[in-house]
Amino acid sequence: MVLLAHFIGALYGLLAVVFGAFGAHALKKTFSEEQLKSFETGVKYQMYHAIVLLMLGFNLNLTTSLEKYMIYCFIFGTFLFSFSIYGLVLSASKGKKLKFLGPITPLGGLLLVIGWSLLLYSFVQNIV
């Protein structure tokens, strides 16, 4: 599980840098200001959670069910949230918005909220 958190964290970090550079340079010509902001939001959240996955992988054993669910929430939540934004923005810029991706973004956000809630719960659990 630790290796998974490290691998996905590093992969998400790598892709966030690539997508960020791509958005800042190549897409600037084809995206509206609003589309660029949405794309940037996806990149930011992806990078934030890449760092979280790496930190958790280095600091937790990731052996309990709670820790495993937390990692899965961050992995799948980031994928659904950020990548659905990328798909929505890219498809809209081509004039063929993939509307089915719209409900996926908040589902990813919900998984991220659950992941953060589980992290908070694990801290509270260790205090008591």
**Whole-model pTM?**
0.94
Q: What angle do CA 66, 69, 75 make, to 5 degrees?
A: 140
Mean pLDDT of the region 91-115: 94
Condensed to tens digits (0 to 9), the pLDDT of residues 38-89 reads 999 999 999 999 999 999 999 988 999 999 999 999 999 999 999 999 999 9
Beta carbons of 86 and 42 less than 8 angstroms apart: yes
